Amino acid sequence: MTAPVPPKTVTPLADGEWHRLHPASPLLRGGLVFIAVLGFVIANLRERIVDMFVFVFVPDLGDELDSNYGEWQNDWANDPVGAIVLNGQVGWALLAVAAVVIAVIVGFWLSWRMHTFRITGEAVEVRSGILFRSHRSARLDRVQGVNIARPLFARLFGTAKLDVSVAGQSGNVQLSYLASALADGLRADILRLASGARAERSKAAAPGVAGITVSVAGATDASMPVDAAGATDASVPGDVAVPGDPAGTGSPAASAHGPVSAVIGRRVDEFLAPELDPSLAPPASVVHLSVGRVIASTLLGGTTISILVFVAVIVVGIANGQSWVIFSFIPAVIGLVGYLWSRITKSLRYSIAGTPDGVRIGYGLLSTANQTIPPGRVHAVSVTQWILWRPFGWWSVKVNLAGQSMSASSEQAQRTIVLPVGSAADVGRVLALLLPESAGAVEPLVAVGLTGRGAGGGFTATPRRAAWLRPFSRRRIGWAAGSGVALFRTGALTRSLVLMPLARVQSVALSRGPVGRLLDLAAVRVHTVSGPVQVVLPVIETAEGRDLFERLAADAVTWAASDESHHWGAIARTEAPA
């Protein structure tokens, strides 16, 4: 820790050479479907196949089974299996099946051979495809976050999916799948390279490089044992390494013949280990969610209300003898219950912590995932509270991140939820992680913004006539600004406070409709990258709105010019000597 650390990477994968993925990857990516189909076919044909063996090898028993043959008939369209057997083409059929199986295996093997990735100082690159080659490259200075997902099946294989998200729709580069523990180390490598720390370090390899750089090195050291275990763990022959890569092939080969029980034991350990590696995070900053709160908050959500409504409709329908109600509503109820269940399991074992390379969020009970949001990648934050959560003082925190499209999958939607449910104190801690530069300054504003009404505490008030447009939330609506963050407070039924880092503003709009002009009211909207957070102040006095518009437009330019958080490693270096 005290000595200058040589530019050492956590894993042998980030050395700028081409590497392969985990050999089970093709199977995990698409092969499971194939196996499932195969299993289904075999399960359904089992009796037929047994019958056929009898027919082919013990023809004497034919009398007993004659009735069956009659049914088989020579009907290719309806019963190809029976026709094959009757025509004595069993050998050909078996050959065809074998050919298909071999083709699939060769295809898997080829797709594994051809699917390579490399991590250089500038970019993460992935080459894949057998006939149609594709080459994706994500520039490291555009990396918006690195996510690791471990679906249940992948966990059984001890593998994980690494997803490097970059700005832009569907611009993500996926490494699926990697050995589970290697994935963690590789993420640390990518983020460290992206932070610009490496360039800085090679430029000035002086012992004075303190601060973040050293703590990164600390994290590196801490995860080394984990990494070693991972390398051996994933050492089903082949593994991730390219021939000629000493670190990748050496240790796995040595332990490839280790006892199977040890592998299973390690897998069990992995399964039970906490999602967040405790050695990587200062424990004080971690928010812990109790199981009870997760379940209660989900049950008090809007989904439960719709389930109750549906159940009521079903009960009333049955009572009135309208049996069609069952068929039309029960599937919806099942779907909603499934959604609730997945919400709960995904929120379990939730953890959030600040690491040198960004905010690390982990969640999931069976399928686990975690993501790291590097500093300066949060484009907008919203803190919301639904009305049923109000008695408990629960809030949830969502963010807008670049590279998350609006029509995102549920997996991506999950990534924008930074805190599924938490108290106001938890919100404060999460905000301190998300907006480290300004969280301290805006803390009193946040306190007022969460529950406050009317003028005061730094927030503006909305004129009485705004009740024509916003009858319930009029007194809530207001804005405040402090330390590079604009705060928009809205919502009465669903209280909402939006924090907009001014350095991330894309553009600002002021708009006014016919009613607004009659009432001399306008709306101010700040445009950010797409996501769940809408930064809107729905009503504001026109003159004040113009001032706010001007102020936001000017501040956006000023803060963007002074913002350097996208090269956070470099900042740490320049700040450290001071």
Closest to other proteins by CB, 445 or 556: 556
Least Cβ distance, residue 403 to other proteins (angstroms)? 9
**439 vs 367: CA distance, rounded Å:** 32
Report the residue number, 46 or 139, with the smaller CB distance to other proteins.
139
With helix as H, strand as E and coil as C, how does 329-391 read? HHHHHHHHHHHHHHHHHHHCCCEEEEECCEEEEEECCCCEEEEEECCCCEEEEEEEECHHHHH
Looking at the DSSP bridge assignments, the partners of residue 442 are none
CB-nearer residue toward other proteins: 55 or 568: 568
Cβ closest to other proteins, residue 364 vs residue 375 = 375
Residue with smaller CB distance to other proteins, 31 or 545: 545
User: How is residue 405 written in tokens?
Assistant: 């499209």
Cβ 196 to other proteins, closest distance in Å? 12
Q: Which residues pair with 75 in a beta bridge?
A: none
Query: Which residue lies nearer to other proteins by CB, 223 or 530?
Result: 530
Cα first-last separation, the chain:
20
Judged by beta carbon, residue 70 or residue 514, the one nearer other proteins is 514
Q: What minimum distance in Å lies between the beta carbon of 464 and other proteins?
A: 22
Smallest gap from Cβ 547 to other proteins, in A, equals: 9
Q: Shortest approach of other proteins to residue 380 CB, angstroms?
A: 10
Other Cβ atoms closer than 10 A to 123 = 20
Cα–Cα distances (Å) from 197 to 89, 549, 568, in that order, read: 67, 37, 8
Least distance in angstroms from the C-beta of 514 to other proteins = 6
Distance between CA 324 and CA 330 in Å, rounded?
10
**Whole-number minimum distance, CB 247 to other proteins, in Å?**
34
Q: Smallest Cα–Cα separation from 538: which of 473, 455, 447, 459?
A: 473
Which residues sit opposite 399 in a β-bridge? 381
CA–CA distance from 473 to each of 449, 454, 456 (Å)?
13, 10, 16
Closest contact distance (angstroms) between CB of 377 and other proteins is 8
Calpha distance 88→91 (Å, rounded): 8
Instruction: Tell me how far apart the alpha carbons of residues 417 and 410 are, in angstroms, rounded to a whole number.
Output: 11
> In angstroms, what is the minimal distance from the CB of 153 to other proteins?
34
Residue 383 or 526 having the CB closest to other proteins: 526
Site residues (vs other proteins, CB under 8 A) = 142, 144, 167, 376-377, 379, 402, 406, 503-514, 517, 522, 525, 527-530, 542, 545-546, 549-550, 552-554, 556-557, 560-561, 563, 565-566
The residue assigned the tokens 């093709």 is 26
Cβ proximity to other proteins: between 171 and 393 the closer is 171
- 139 or 288: CB nearest other proteins: 139
The dihedral built from the CA positions of residue 352, 419, 406 and 365, taken in this order, carries a sign that is: positive
Residue type, 246: P
> Could you say which DSSP state residue 30 is in?
I
C-alpha–C-alpha distance, residues 35 and 545, integer Å: 61
Instruction: Annotate 180-208 with three-state secondary structure.
Output: HHHHHHHHHHHHHHHCCHHHHHHHCCCCC
- Closest distance between other proteins and the C-beta of residue 530, in Å? 5
d(CA 118, CA 127): 9
481 CB-near residues (< 8 Å, 6+ apart): 487, 551, 555
Cα Dmax for the chain: 99
Least separation in angstroms between residue 420's CB and other proteins is: 26
Residue 303 near residue 336, CB atoms below 8 Å: yes
Nearer to other proteins, 100 or 543 (CB): 543
